[in-house]
């Protein structure tokens, strides 16, 4: 059971990381400076 929870958490973290990378790339393509506003 705990292995399943750990796997789900790691998959969720990968998904969030991927979304954040896409967000940063979109800002760079739009000519904006990438910000860390999600963490502020």
To the question of pTM greater than 0.85 for the whole model, the response is no
Place of tokens 């796997």: 7
Name the burial class of residue 27, with classes exposed (0-12), middle (13-18) and buried (19+) by CB atoms within 10 angstroms of its CB: middle
Task: Please provide the average confidence, as pLDDT, over all residues in the chain.
Answer: 79
Question: What is the average per-residue pLDDT within 3-18?
Answer: 85
Show the tokens assigned to 6: 């750990």
pLDDT band with cut points at 50, 70 and 90 for residue 40 = very low
CB half-sphere exposure, 12, CA atoms < 13 A: 6
């Amino acid at each position: 059971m705990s292995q399943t929870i750990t796997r789900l958490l790691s998959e969720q973290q990968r998904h969030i990381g991927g979304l954040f990378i896409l967000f940063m790339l979109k800002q760079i393509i739009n000519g904006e400076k990438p910000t860390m506003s999600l963490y502020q």
